[in-house]
Amino acid sequence: MKKLIVWLILPMLLVSAALGYYLIKPMPLPATPFIFDLKQGSSLKGTAREMQQAGLLEQEWTFVWLVRSLGKATQLKAGNYVLEHPVSLLELLKIISKGEVSQRQLSVIEGWTFRQLREALNASPDINHTAARMTDAEILQHIGATEQHPEGLFFPDTYYFAAGSNDLVIFKRAYQTMQKHLQQAWLARAPDLPLQTPYQALILASIVEKETGAPGDRSMIAGVFVNRLRKGMLLQTDPTVIYGMGEQFDGNLRRRDLLKDTIYNTYKRRGLTPTPIALPGVAALQAALHPAQTDALYFVSRGDGSSQFSSTLTAHNHAVDKYQLKK
């Protein structure tokens, strides 16, 4: 009888030990840091499903069972969460039930340059400024970027983080987010574009971002640049010249600036610039990879943020007279 009891209890002890180990074992994160959102009003199963789809849980049922066993089904808090290191299932439940959501945020704006991004991070009092002592190349190396130039590689968005987070963590998150959006857009791109690589798409998107005054013009502006690339025409876009001037630009672009040759002067050099000139957002990426079907080769600002598009130089010159020279 004693042997029977032992044989009955032993499996239970083994199962309990395995379950206990599973609950306290740190779970690998899909990325570091790992960010996930829990929607307001989600059920327990819905919450578990969201975390499984995000790649945090292997099976949703284990989390559901744990929450119900501990009587915390009504205590889960919606919000934006950031995990800086692997956590166990028990630790994850504690974080979510206490609502330990990210409390700090940084907004990175479409069209910013990398220099402006660095300045914003350096100015934040909530961040540990490790990268402030690094060169651009050292930052890229630290976050695992394979590119040689940082411009355009970081996705403009609002980033949430815990107070005291390292700025390199935010750089890495913004870089990985841009890679994700760029690859998704590239795989779904329109056929027969004069772009050979995702990086070229990023360059074009950055130019579209800087040239767009009215959001509705993005795809047409991209269509003009794509048409010019196909024909081997100069892009002749002012933002590239301004970028090439760097800190020498005083807010006034002069004719002599357009005539001065730099690697970013698209009035002097054909094709795309060697790197992006700004941080493009999703809309600019989509416009660059799904440009409008148009025969337009020129555009000029109407003075209200929108652009006038023309298919011939004669029509373009008339538009310049009308909207720029006010003739």
Question: In this structure, what DSSP letter does residue 48 have?
Answer: H
Burial class (CB in 10 A: 0-12, 13-18, 19+), 102: middle
Using DSSP's 3-state secondary structure scheme, residue 8 falls into helix
d(CA 171, CA 131) in angstroms, rounded, equals 9
| Amino acid making up residue 25 | K
pLDDT of residue 229: 97
The domains of the chain, with CATH numbers, are 25-98 (3.30.1490.480), 106-184 (no CATH), 192-323 (no CATH)
pLDDT of residue 33: 77
Q: pTM to 2 decimals?
A: 0.72
**pLDDT in tens for each of the 327 residues of the chain?**
555 554 555 455 444 444 455 556 788 888 777 877 777 777 888 888 888 888 888 888 888 888 888 888 888 887 778 788 888 888 888 888 887 766 678 999 999 999 999 999 999 988 889 999 999 999 999 999 999 999 999 999 988 877 778 899 999 999 999 999 999 999 999 999 999 999 999 999 999 999 998 999 999 999 999 999 999 999 999 999 999 998 888 888 888 988 899 999 999 999 999 999 999 999 999 999 999 999 999 999 988 889 999 999 999 999 888 887 765
Classify residue 64 as left (phi > 0), alpha (psi -120 to 50) or beta: alpha
pLDDT of residue 146: 93
d(CA 123, CA 96) in angstroms, rounded, equals 30
